[in-house]
Amino acid sequence: MTKSVVITGASSGIGAALAHEFANRGYNLALCARRTEKLESLKNALIESHKDIQVITAALDVNELDTVPSVLSEIKKTFGTVDIVIANAGITGVRRTGSGDLTIDKNILQTNLFGAIATVDAAVAIFREQGFGQIVGMSSFSAFRGIPGSAAYSASKAALTNYLQAVGTELYRKKDIKVTAIHPGFIRTEIDENIEKFPFVIDADKAAKTMANAIEKGKSDVVVPSWPWAILRNVMPKLPESIIAKIF
Ligand SMILES: NC(=O)c1ccc[n+]([C@@H]2O[C@H](COP(=O)([O-])OP(=O)(O)OC[C@H]3O[C@@H](n4cnc5c(N)ncnc54)[C@H](OP(=O)(O)O)[C@@H]3O)[C@@H](O)[C@H]2O)c1
């Protein structure tokens, strides 16, 4: 039976690149995001280049927490089963602490943390019922050390990594349900138009290949690209503030 993958935030960047990568690997795809016109053109391109797979789209705003389970169960009805759910939807936002306006911080935590939790929870409900599946959460290297100017973003990703670890442990006896936390470094996408000013930036399609390999291997924790971020993961928490401030 053809395996299926659900991707939230599939309308651009890493999510769209993962859609191409999993289509190349023969998976059926459910593409979710708010910008449905982008999802439709991605779907058309994928169907054009991959005649043997099924691609569906679903309008999904992960901030509307109550709608997430119904969107995922509609997808399960269409495919019969769901093998992989990638909770990828996310936003960023720069804010200097002390401005007195928490709007940006609230939005970031709502989407990156509560939106992801709603996705993980709805996916795990399906996996428990069908007896198998894999949930993938898109965290960040900023989970390793808070990044100046991105305090809320860093906190949302650190919390997501922690949440995924806890879910993985909750499910460790269920050998056929896997939990994967992905920690990307800097990936060239729409999320930050100034991404080139940062070090070690890679293209989304290259990142998607590495991510898909790790997902298929059922890894619980992934850093993409591994150089230099797998090493920096251990080094960053110990670096003095002056160096972190200089880099970021
Ligand atoms: N690029 C990087 O360097 C980097 C590094 C570390 C982690 N990440 C993480 O990777 C993930 C993907 O980011 P990206 O770099 O690919 O950025 P992107 O190109 O801006 O893509 C973000 C995706 O999230 C979707 N999204 C945002 N808010 C949503 C909501 N409320 N409901 C549903 N979908 C929503 C967007 O779709 P719509 O606007 O159409 O809804 C879009 O498809 C994010 O979680 C991000 O934090 C990225």
Nearest ligand 1 atom to the CA of 39 is 40
The rounded Cα 209 to chain-centroid distance in angstroms is: 14
Q: Which of 85, 88, 34, 26 has the alpha carbon at shortest distance from 55?
A: 26
Residues acting as catalytic residues: 153
Assess whether the C-beta atom of 205 lies below 6 angstroms from ligand 1. Answer: no
Q: Which of 18, 66, 91 to mutate to test the pocket of ligand 1 (most atoms within 8 A of CB)?
A: 91
Looking at residue 40, its pLDDT comes to: 98
What tens-digit pLDDT sequence spans the chain (248 residues)? 899 999 999 999 999 999 999 999 999 999 999 999 999 999 999 999 999 999 999 999 999 999 999 999 999 999 999 999 999 999 999 988 998 999 999 999 999 999 999 999 999 999 999 999 999 999 999 999 999 999 999 999 999 999 999 999 999 999 999 999 999 999 999 999 999 998 899 999 999 999 999 999 999 999 999 999 999 999 999 999 999 998 88
Position 247 scores a pLDDT of: 85
Judge contact between 65 and 114, C-beta under 8 A: yes
The model's pTM is 0.98
**Position in ligand 1 atom list of the atom nearest CA 190:** 19
CA angle at 111 for the pair 149 and 243, rounded to the nearest 5°? 20
Phi and psi at 209, nearest 5°, equal -60, -50
